[in-house]
Structure 1
Amino acid sequence: MPLHPELDKKLSKLYEPSARIDDVFKGYDITFLTNREGEPMTLFFGRRRPDGAISGERFTRTIKREPGSQEVRSSHWDNQGKIMNR
């Protein structure tokens, strides 16, 4: 299942490098982790618990770059399944 186009657009932006970003998207809680370049690489999507963890789904991003540069040729998000934190 692909990500919602608006969420994909939000995750295509650059953020603070090596950071954890907590946000809300269309009534759902999201947390994403960025790499050294500030690109979101791991996404947690669902409902935030009082301790800050999210119960829902986890997605990971694969990025393919142009040879010899940091320019992104393509990227896609893969659903890694349910996460149920207790």
Structure 2
Amino acid sequence: MKIGAALMKHLVKKYEPSSLISFTFNRYDVALKTDEDGNPVLMFIGKANERGIIKGDQFTRRLLKDAAGVVVKDHWDYKGKV
């Protein structure tokens, strides 16, 4: 699965720091874990079961910042099925 432009609009937003955010995108359930700055760094996308556990794909975000805190590299890596 690739991350499309419409989903990337959700992934560039700032959320509550160090939290788990869940929402529905098209026909998929999405869960995002955020870092201490509120940036999504871990994403699970697929179908959630009755306990809320998502079976689908996992992505991790690689944020590389310089000494001033400016983002130099921002990339999502596919980590496989969960």
Q: For this structure pair, what is the TM-score category when the shorter chain's length is used for normalisation?
A: over 0.9
Query: Which amino acid counterpart does residue 34 of structure 1 have in structure 2?
Result: T
Q: Which residue of 2 aligns with 1:38?
A: 38
Q: Distance in 1 between matches of 2:68 and 2:36?
A: 15
| 4+ runs deviating over 3 angstroms | none
Q: Which residue of 1 aligns with 2:75?
A: 76
Q: Distance in 1 between matches of 2:13 and 2:70?
A: 13
TM-score, structure 2 as length reference: 0.93
Q: Which residue of 2 aligns with 1:6?
A: 6
Q: Distance in 2 between matches of 1:43 and 1:59?
A: 5
Q: Distance in 1 between matches of 2:2 and 2:56?
A: 16
The two structures, once aligned, show a CA RMSD in angstroms of 1.1
TM-score, structure 1 as length reference: 0.89
Note if contact 1:46-1:55 (Cα within 8 Å) is conserved in structure 2: yes
Q: Sequence identity of aligned pairs in percent?
A: 37
Find the residue that maps to 1:68 and give its secondary structure: coil
Structure 1, unaligned stretches of length 5 or more?
A: none
1:74 Cα deviation after fit:
2.4
Listed one character per residue, the Cα deviations across residues 32-80 of structure 1 (whole Å, up to 9, x for unaligned) are 1000000000000000000110000000000111x22222222111110
Equivalenced residues, count: 82
